[in-house]
Structure 1
Amino acid sequence: MQEHELPEPEATRRDSGVTESSRANRGWWDRNADEYQVEHGTFLGDDRFVWCPEGLDEVEAELLGPAEDLKGRDVLEIGAGAAQCSRWLAAQGARPVALDLSYRQLQHALRIDELNSAAPFPLVQADAGALPFADASFDLACSAYGALPFVADPVLVLREVRRVLRPGGRFVFSVTHPLRWAFPDEPGPEGLSVSASYFDRTPYVEQDEQGRAVYVEHHRTVGDRVRDVVAGGFRLVDLVEPEWPEWNTQEWGGWSPLRGGLIPGTAIFVCERDERG
Structure 2
Amino acid sequence: MAPPCDTRGTEAAAEPRTEQHTEPQTSDEEPIIQEPEGHEPEATRRVADVTESARANRGWWDRNADEYQTEHGTFLGDDRFVWGPEGLDEVEAELLGPPEELKGKDVLEIGAGAAQCARWLAAQGARPVALDISHRQLQHALRIGGPFPLVCADAGALPFADASFDLACSAYGALPFVADPRLVLREVRRVLRPGGRFVFSVTHPIRWAFPDEPGPEGLTVSASYFDRTPYVEQDEEGRAVYVEHHRTLGDRVRDVVASGLTLVDLVEPEWPAWNTSEWGGWSPLRGNLIPGSAIFVCARD
TM-score range, shorter-chain basis? over 0.9
1:219 aligns with 2:246: yes
Partner of 1:35: 67
Deviations 1:26-85 (A, max 9, x none): 000000000000000000000000000000000000000000000000000000000000
Q: 2:112 aligns with which of 80, 88, 100?
A: 80
Work out the CA distance in 1 between the residues paired with 2:128 and 2:232.
32
Structure 1 length-normalised TM? 0.95
Partner of 1:110: 142
1:137 aligns with 2:164: yes
Quote how far apart the aligned CAs of 1:158 are. 0.2
Q: 1:151 aligns with which of 178, 196, 206?
A: 178
Deviations 1:156-212 (A, max 9, x none): 100000000000100000000000000000000000000000000000000000000
Q: 1:238 aligns with which of 265, 273, 277?
A: 265
Work out the CA distance in 2 between the residues paired with 1:34 and 1:60.
29
Partner of 2:230: 203
Partner of 1:70: 102
Work out the CA distance in 2 between the residues paired with 1:89 and 1:6.
40
Structure 2 length-normalised TM? 0.88
Q: Give the secondary-structure state (helix, strand or coil) at the position aligned to 1:173.
A: strand
Higher normalized helix content (fraction of residues): 1
Deviations 1:80-107 (A, max 9, x none): 0000000000000000000000000000
Q: Give the secondary-structure state (helix, strand or coil) at the position aligned to 1:206.
A: strand
Provide structure 2 residue ranges, at least 5 long, that are not aligned to the other structure: 1-35
Q: Give the secondary-structure state (helix, strand or coil) at the position aligned to 2:48.
A: coil
Structure 1 stretches of 4+ moved >3 Å: none
Partner of 1:169: 196
Provide structure 1 residue ranges, at least 5 long, that are not aligned to the other structure: none
Q: Give the secondary-structure state (helix, strand or coil) at the position aligned to 1:149.
A: helix
Deviations 1:122-169 (A, max 9, x none): 000000000000000000000000000000000010000000000010
Work out the CA distance in 1 between the residues paired with 2:230 and 2:281.
17
Q: Give the secondary-structure state (helix, strand or coil) at the position aligned to 1:271.
A: strand
Q: How does 1:86-125 map to 2 (within 5 A)?
A: 86-113=118-145, 118=146, 120-125=147-152
Read off the aligned partner of 1:238 and give its amino acid letter: D
Work out the CA distance in 2 between the residues paired with 1:190 and 1:5.
31
Work out the CA distance in 2 between the residues paired with 1:223 and 1:159.
18
Work out the CA distance in 1 between the residues paired with 2:281 and 2:267.
19
Partner of 1:266: 293
Quote how far apart the aligned CAs of 1:5 are. 3.0
Work out the CA distance in 2 between the residues paired with 1:44 and 1:232.
30
* Count of paired positions: 266
Q: Give the secondary-structure state (helix, strand or coil) at the position aligned to 2:66.
A: helix
Partner of 2:47: 15
Q: Give the secondary-structure state (helix, strand or coil) at the position aligned to 1:171.
A: strand
Q: Give the secondary-structure state (helix, strand or coil) at the position aligned to 2:130.
A: strand
Q: Give the secondary-structure state (helix, strand or coil) at the position aligned to 1:33.
A: helix
Quote how far apart the aligned CAs of 1:6 are. 2.7
What value does the CA root-mean-square deviation take over the aligned residues? 0.6
Work out the CA distance in 2 between the residues paired with 1:112 and 1:223.
38
Percent identity, aligned pairs only, is 88
Work out the CA distance in 2 between the residues paired with 1:265 and 1:208.
29
Q: 2:187 aligns with which of 151, 160, 168?
A: 160
Work out the CA distance in 2 between the residues paired with 1:5 and 1:135.
43
Q: How does 1:182-193 map to 2 (within 5 A)?
A: 182-193=209-220
